[in-house]
Structure 1
Amino acid sequence: METKFSPEDHIHNLLDGVRRAMYDDAGVELEDIFGVSGSRAEALPDLTIGLDRIVMLPGTAFPLHVHPGAHLLYVLDGRGGLRVDGQDYVLERGDSIYVPADYPHGVQGPVDDRPLEFLAFGVPHHEVDSTTRMVLVRDDETVTS
């Protein structure tokens, strides 16, 4: 497999890009949470990598969920929260967070009136408006550490 560099496909401005709605695994729109698609490419056969910018407005949260692959988050602006393994952590500008594959976690939106903005790098990568980007942990499922 050989991926060739293509400026049209591989250079995307995450600050000026179009904000797109985000959805849970049932296709329900996550209100006041938006994603801006960044670069993505096939790194290995059937394995994509990608980077997106996520914007969460006050009063929002990503419910407890898992991803099929690991991802890194980097907080660009604002303050929010992360819930992992029953523990809550404060996220603020400059924080980087590693979340292992299939590890249940949730992100609390801003704790003040400024949006929480962060970069999300995922392997494998799913488009910001994809219903396969995350799988919610339902109330009847058991979460183990």
Structure 2
Amino acid sequence: MIYQPAGAPRPDDPIDRKDLDWERGSNLNRCHSPQDVDAAFDRGEERVGVAVIALAYNHADTDAVLVRVARGLRSSSPETRRQSLLALMHTARLHGRVDSVTLDLLRELLLDHSPISAGSLYDVRGTAIQTVEDLRVFLPRDQLPAWVNDFNG
């Protein structure tokens, strides 16, 4: 099943680790293994950010998801940072929480004017601003630090 709710029972998934298409990314939305994401980071896979988003959807252990989101937020690739911000939004929406590490990294990315790809008009900061706004929608005020609640992008 593609993009099932976090914690939902998993039907038999025919996608095996060796079958994930890292070259074209055609089925990375089915990624559900933190170990696959770690291995992709270690190999320097260009599309690892897609797998981080999929992990937010497909893996029930929020702590395991947030570790990989944080790793993506630290990436040298602006596109992976952007995709990891999207994964952070989805983690908040689906899992109902984030952590102090990802919030600290989010705050840093509010200063990141790197274009998400060569020649792009969009930068990482724009996605970071949207992430802050989405966290305020998906999480109760008392779960967020004052800087998020008071943010005025």
TM-score normalised according to structure 2 size:
0.27
Point out the structure with the larger strand share: 1
Give the structure, 1 or 2, with the largest relative contact order (CA under 8 Å, sep 6 or more): 1
TM-score normalised according to structure 1 size:
0.28
